[in-house]
């Protein structure tokens, strides 16, 4: 049988989830920005993708891999709005074109928490340029994690912290999803094993990915900001996000994920 075509996010936070998978014959692995992972899955170019959580409800009857997700509770560090002015005065936001879930979350926060209705302008994730053109910039992933707001003289609004402060719940940023029937029980076991091994080796993962000068930031990030389990509270947080996104007209389907089940495989 051909290997499962697996699309992973090309950010530090996804690296523990694919630890050693490139050596396993059951998977063919590629890395792309989150928006590209979603597009590849929607068009059928990959079998399973680490998709932004908002893209699940825009999909085509996907199943989700149980027990594994990219999650934060409180500050996430790698998803932020950087602003040159007070939140109440923001009129334009440069929105990272790599983003799907974070874009939806910021729109929810603007309406439900901040009480503003800014214009969102899609732009590549180059914070300095974004902030020259707009009042604020939504930046995700490594670009947000390693951007120094003090040096740029801007304020960093951490979207993970804002979500948890508003909802009291964790936030599910992304998870593995694919079409029914493409994963066997052995595949699910291998994905869990990769996650567990990657979390155990998170310091090595950060050092290898970040390189000299940034590895300390990467290590702290993987230890303190990101986790990879998906239990009842995470599902509750995801349901709350979908409901608010639906209420605000961002999506029109608030259904929660259907999971792959080993007894069906």
* Structural domain spans, the chain: 4-70+171-236+243-264, 79-167
145-165: average pLDDT: 96
Helix (H, G, I), strand (E, B) or coil at 131: helix
Give the pLDDT of residue 25: 79
Answer with the residue of higher pLDDT: 24 or 132. Answer: 132
Task: Give the confidence band of 264 by pLDDT, cuts at 50, 70, 90.
Answer: low
Mean pLDDT for the chain overall: 93
Query: Is residue 218 predicted with pLDDT exceeding 90?
Result: yes
Burial class of residue 2 in the structure, from the number of CB atoms within 10 Å of its CB (0-12 exposed, 13-18 middle, 19+ buried): exposed
101-111: average pLDDT: 97
DSSP 113: I
Of all residues in the chain, the percent with pLDDT exceeding 70 is: 98
Query: Is residue 225 predicted with pLDDT exceeding 60?
Result: yes
Tokens of 100: 């799907």
In this structure, how many other beta carbons lie within 10 angstroms of the beta carbon of residue 40?
A: 18
DSSP 3: P
213-241: average pLDDT: 95
Gap between the Cα atoms of 60 and 257, Å rounded: 12
What number of residues does the chain have?
265
Alpha carbon dihedral 45, 43, 78, 163, in 10-degree steps, equals -140
Task: Give the confidence band of 196 by pLDDT, cuts at 50, 70, 90.
Answer: very high
pLDDT tens by residue, 128-141: 999 999 999 999 99
Gap between the Cα atoms of 5 and 29, Å rounded: 6
237-256: average pLDDT: 90
Give the pLDDT of residue 129: 95
Tokens of 107: 């729109």
Q: Which residues of 175-214 are buried (b: 16+ CB within 10 A; e: fewer)?
A: bbbbeeebbeeebbebbbebbeebbebbeebbbebbeeeb
125-154: average pLDDT: 95
Query: Is residue 223 predicted with pLDDT exceeding 80?
Result: yes
Lowest mean per-residue pLDDT among 212-221, 232-241, 244-253: 244-253
Question: Could you tell me the pTM of the whole model?
Answer: 0.94
- In CATH terms, the fold of domain 79-167 is D-Maltodextrin-Binding Protein; domain 2 (3.40.190)
| Residues 62 and 37 sit within 8 Å (Cβ to Cβ) | no
Give the pLDDT of residue 137: 98
Tokens of 84: 């040159």
pLDDT tens by residue, 41-64: 999 999 999 999 999 988 778 999
Give the pLDDT of residue 263: 60
DSSP 2: P
Query: Is residue 265 predicted with pLDDT exceeding 60?
Result: no
Q: Does domain 4-70+171-236+243-264 have CATH number 3.40.50.11890?
A: no
Same topology, domains 4-70+171-236+243-264 and 79-167? Answer is: yes
Residues 6+ apart with CB under 8 A from 224: none
Taking every pair of Cα atoms in the chain, the longest distance, rounded to a whole number of angstroms, is 57
């Amino acid at each position: 049988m051909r290997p499962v075509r697996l699309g992973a996010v090309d950010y530090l936070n996804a690296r523990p989830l694919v630890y050693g998978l490139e050596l396993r014959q059951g998977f063919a692995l590629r890395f792309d920005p989150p928006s590209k992972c979603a597009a590849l899955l929607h068009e059928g170019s990959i079998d399973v993708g680490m998709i932004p959580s908002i893209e699940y409800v825009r999909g085509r009857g996907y199943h989700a891999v149980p027990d594994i997700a990219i999650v934060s509770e409180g500050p996430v560090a790698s998803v932020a709005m950087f602003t040159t002015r007070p939140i109440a005065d923001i009129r334009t936001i440069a929105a990272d074109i790599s983003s799907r879930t974070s874009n939806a979350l910021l729109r929810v926060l603007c309406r439900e928490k901040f009480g503003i209705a800014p214009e969102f302008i899609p732009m590549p994730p180059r914070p300095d340029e974004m902030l020259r053109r707009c009042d604020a910039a939504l930046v995700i992933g490594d670009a947000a994690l390693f951007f120094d707001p003090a040096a740029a003289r801007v304020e960093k609004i951490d979207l993970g912290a804002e979500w948890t402060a508003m909802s009291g719940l964790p936030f599910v940023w992304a998870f593995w999803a694919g079409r029914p029937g493409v994963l066997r029980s052995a595949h699910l076991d291998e994905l869990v094993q990769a996650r567990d091994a990657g979390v155990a080796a998170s310091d090595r993962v950060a050092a290898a990915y970040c390189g000299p000068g940034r590895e300390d930031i990467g290590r702290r990030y993987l230890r303190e900001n990101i986790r990879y389990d998906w239990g009842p509270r995470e599902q509750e947080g995801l349901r709350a996000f979908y409901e608010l996104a639906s209420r605000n007209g961002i999506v029109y389907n608030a259904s929660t994920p259907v999971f792959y089940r080993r007894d069906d495989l």
